[in-house]
Structure 1
Amino acid sequence: MLFLSIALMYACSKNEGELKPEEKSVIFERPSNFPDPAYNFENNMLTKAGFALGKKLFYEARLSADKSVSCGSCHQQFAAFTQLDHKVSHGVNNCQGKRNTPPLVNLAWQKAFFWDGGVKNLETSPLNAITDACEMGTDLETIVAFLKSTAPYLALFKQAFGSTEINSQLILKSITQFTGVLVSAHSRYDKVIRKETGSVFTDAEQKGYNLFKEKCASCHKEPFFTDFDYKSNGLDIISTDEGRAHITGINSDKGKFRVPTLRNIEYTSPYMHDGRFYSLDEVLEHYNSGIKASENLDPLLKNGIPLSEPEKEQIKAFLKTLTDYEFIKNTLYSET
């Protein structure tokens, strides 16, 4: 079976300590229960130095307008790379955005990003946060100037890309070398599906899995627990946020948002595009009794998803098997 790894390939004639950073290669491997990724790392070759630079930039708060907010401020590892307890993104000058911070997970398999799918390329996706007035509030030209004049970045770019040149393309490529390998594939669910030794569901989890496949899996498809589509799930009769229509300009897309992944759902509250629900109980009760007949409501939700109290508990038991503690606690992804 294949798993994600940051693996160092050493020349036979050298010891680890003798290798230069650029001589150490980073390998991205597909988990055996995942399809092939959408992102092609052949055009952004992974290296240990490139990954390390991308991680440093990800956690560099001095890139923001008031030097207080980094990518890692809103995408916190302990919250599965979303922002704990914040309904919406919280950026520079204490500014609050209008949408909940999505988790950064399994991005290499996505073809579009954000709640409305407004970005089609993993490498350019950080631009939204960089330039948004309520997130980092800056621009690439300012960031390039900062990095050129700030140690140790000239040396780090040389190690990663063989030159002291710093430009917007290399900044985005290095960040992608970090975010592109944020793969969550070691939950107990994954281990059960891969039939790893000793990995089984409890009775409640198995019943919850069966219910999930019956009632939820049409939108939250395995193994990513999203179909990557945009739907209205009846949060409001009239959505104050245009959602997907903001990108497409199509009336039938109003109030539609990306179906979110359920991986690590236990750690990614609050839920929905506007963070209105703080618990899984609230989410399940919404589908049970709270769906509103919005104009573009997904047809599958016309009659809601009736759930008894025991069924809710069983589904919650299954959803918690999607928690990937190895991912959340992996020091390879940590700031320090």
Structure 2
Amino acid sequence: MIVLFLFSIVILSFKEFGFEGFVKPANFPWPVYDLAKNPVTKEGFELGRMLFYEGALSRDNKISCGSCHIQSAAFTQHGHDVSHGIEDRLGSRNSPPIMNLAWNKSFFWDGGVFHLDMFPVSPITNPVEMDEKMENVLIKLRSKQEYREKFKAVYGSDEITGTQIFKALSQFMLLCISSDSKYDSVMRKTDVRFTVAEEKGYHIFLQHCNRCHQAPLFTDGSFRNNGLNNQFNPDKGRQTITLDPQDSFKFKVPSLRNLSYTVPYMHDGRFTSIDQVLDHYTKGVQDSHTLDPLLKNKGQLGIQMTAAERLSLKTFLKTLDDKHFITRTDLSEQ
């Protein structure tokens, strides 16, 4: 109880000038990220926001984190099936949302990074994303007086290091919390209620989807082969990290929050509508030796739903949209 009390103090004590720091939503579990090692302060968050929208992190000084993670698209890259980086170079996967990362145990579609503080290294150094070296990023930031002053305010010294950059970026991303959807209001037992159609959809979701897309984060963080046609894209996903053939074509289960804003869908952005996604699960699942067992039911592939059930499920999924998240001025480029 003492540890829990002290932890609550850590995440709730930054209430200066209206800034509350990291506050756990009432219907969320405790975060995975160790906030005691990098407590979110007003100055640290603001520095992280500057860095998130800073083009100097890329080789041509034009591509920022915010270029591929756009707030109005729930911090995905709207309109692109796969990421578009420096000089409009194409990546091989869809840009995942920057959302509720404090609860993530691993990052990227293949789980190749295991700590939020190391998350930015990959896009900064990736030749098709930002294509820069960290030593060059440090030179550029150290040459700017504004950054030297900001880093000194946060860390007590104007010496800028990679560790400080990553921790500041984490402070910004830790506050990219989506928890203000209609679903959240219902779960917190406010005066908001599901409609009849939404309630039906919720029960259909619990029956068919919740084992992988577990509420309230709407992902269990696991890696699964969901039966996509791999002739379209031979990306083997998790196997590229573990080198284990049993992980072939497994990808991290994405959150279902904010689906109205994060189109297109799947790791390669192959589907442009929820109906296409549901078509896949009802009649497009491809069998393979690593196909998730949940998609094999008594020898029948996929998830069987009637047209009415599909409509109700889509109605429920709309309750996971969080308009407040995509319009928060504190997360926007200042």
Same topology, TM > 0.5: yes
1:317 aligns with 2:311: no
1:188 aligns with 2:182: yes
Counterpart CA distance in 1 for 2:157 and 2:313 is: 52
- % identical aligned pairs: 47
Q: Partner residue of 1:91?
A: 85
Q: Does structure 1 residue 229 correspond to structure 2 residue 222?
A: yes
Residue 306 (structure 2) aligns with: 308
Alpha-carbon distance in 2 for matches of 1:32, 1:46:
19
Equivalent in 261, 269, 278 of residue 275 of structure 1: 269
Equivalent residue for 1:333?
331
Letter in 2 for 1:229: S
Report how far residue 299 of structure 1 moved. Answer: 1.1
Name 2:25's counterpart in structure 1: 31
1:295 CA displacement = 2.7
The reply to whether residue 209 of structure 1 matches residue 215 of structure 2 is: no
Match of 1:220 in 2: 213
Cα pair 2:56 2:141 within 8 Å, conserved: no
State which of 94, 102, 125 in structure 2 corresponds to 1:100.
94
Query: 1:25–1:285: structure 2 CA closer, same or farther, 3 Å change rule?
Result: closer
Q: Aligned pair 1:299/2:299, yes or no?
A: no
Aligned residues: 320
**Alignment-derived partner of residue 146 in structure 1:** 140
Asked if 1 retains the 8 angstrom alpha-carbon contact of 2:14 and 2:20, the reply is: yes
> How far 1:162 moved relative to its partner?
1.3
Kindly indicate whether residue 2 of structure 2 is the aligned counterpart of residue 9 of structure 1.
Answer: no
Among 62, 67, 85, the residue aligned to 1:73? 67
For 1:308, give the aligned amino acid.
T
Looking at structure 1, the residues matched to 305 and 55 of structure 2 have their Cα atoms a distance apart, in angstroms, of 44
TM-score, normalised with respect to structure 1:
0.92
Q: Which amino acid aligns with 1:62?
A: A
Which residue is equivalent to 1:53?
47
Name the residue aligned to 1:175. Answer: 169
Taking the aligned partners of 1:25 and 1:210, their CA distance within structure 2 comes to 38
Deviation at 1:201, TM superposition (A): 0.6
Change (3 A) 1:84 1:6: farther
Q: Contact (CA 8 Å) 2:199, 2:316: kept in 1 or not? A: yes
Deviation of the 1:157 alpha carbon: 0.7
Q: What letter matches 1:9 in structure 2?
A: K
1:264-285 deviations in whole A, cap 9, x for unaligned? 1111010000000010010011
Q: Distance in 2 between matches of 1:27 and 1:300?
A: 39
| Aligned-residue offset at 1:212 | 0.5
Please report how far the alpha carbon of residue 45 of structure 1 lies from its aligned counterpart in structure 2 after TM superposition.
Answer: 2.2
Deviation, 1:62, is 2.4
2:247 to 249, 253, 275: 253
Q: Which secondary structure does the structure 1 equivalent of 2:302 belong to?
A: coil
Residue ranges of structure 1 left out of the alignment (5+ in a row): 11-15, 17-23
Measured in 2, the distance between the counterparts of 1:117 and 1:138 equals 22
Name the aligned partner's letter for residue 41 of structure 2. Answer: T
Question: Could you tell me how far 1:224 is from its partner in structure 2?
Answer: 0.6
Q: Distance in 1 between matches of 2:139 and 2:13?
A: 33
Residue 36 of structure 1 and its aligned partner are, at CA, apart by 0.7
Q: Does 1:263 align with 2:257?
A: yes
CA 1:314–1:7: 2 relative to 1, 3 Å: farther
Deviation, structure 1 residue 151: 3.2
Q: Name which of 159, 170, 178 aligns with 2:153.
A: 159
Runs ≥4 in structure 1, deviation > 4 angstroms?
A: 5-8
Structure 2: state its 5+ residue gaps.
1-7
1:97-126 superposed Cα distances (whole Å, 9 cap, x missing partner): 000000011100111011011000000001
- In the alignment, which residue of structure 1 is the partner of 2:5? none
Cα distance, 1:242 vs. partner?
1.2
Deviation by residue 1:61-87 (Cα, 9 ceiling, x = unmatched):
122111221000111000001110110
DSSP-derived class of the 1:152 partner: helix
After superposition, give the CA deviation of every residue in 1:9-40 in whole Å (9 maximum; x if it has no partner).
34xxxxx6xxxxxxx97531211111110101
Q: 8 Å contact 1:234–1:297 — kept in the other structure?
A: yes
TM-score w.r.t. structure 2 length?
Answer: 0.92
| Deviation by residue 1:242-272 (Cα, 9 ceiling, x = unmatched) | 1000111100100000000001111101000
2: CA distance, partners of 1:254 / 1:61? 35
